[in-house]
Amino acid sequence: MYIFFLPKYCSEMNPIELEWKHLKKDELSGQMFDDKLDLAYAVIDGIQARGEKGNYSTERFKFYSNQTA
């Protein structure tokens, strides 16, 4: 058995980290959100805006919960 100790943050091993970094810096910075839903919509809008700027398509999965709050 081999044990590898990885750093807490390692963008080289998780390429999505770089995308999150740009999303937070370029699309979400300076904004305040009243709740998690507003944040979620801002993330979706930010991803779509980055896709348009980079001329690539974005699509997302829709997850539905059967649980009631």
Residue 5 lies in a domain: no
Total domain count, the chain: 1
Alpha carbon distance 68, 7 (integer Å)? 38
Query: For the segment 24-68, what is each residue's pLDDT rounded down to a tens digit?
Result: 999 999 999 999 999 999 999 999 998 898 898 888 777 776 665
- Supply 6's token pair: 């990885």
Q: Is 45 within a domain?
A: yes
pLDDT band at 12 (very low <50, low <70, confident <90, very high): confident
Residues with Cβ < 8 Å from 21, sequence gap 6 or more?
11
Residue 11 lies in a domain: no
Domain that holds residue 23: 16-54
Reported as half-sphere exposure (CB side, CA atoms, 13 A), residue 28 has a value of 19
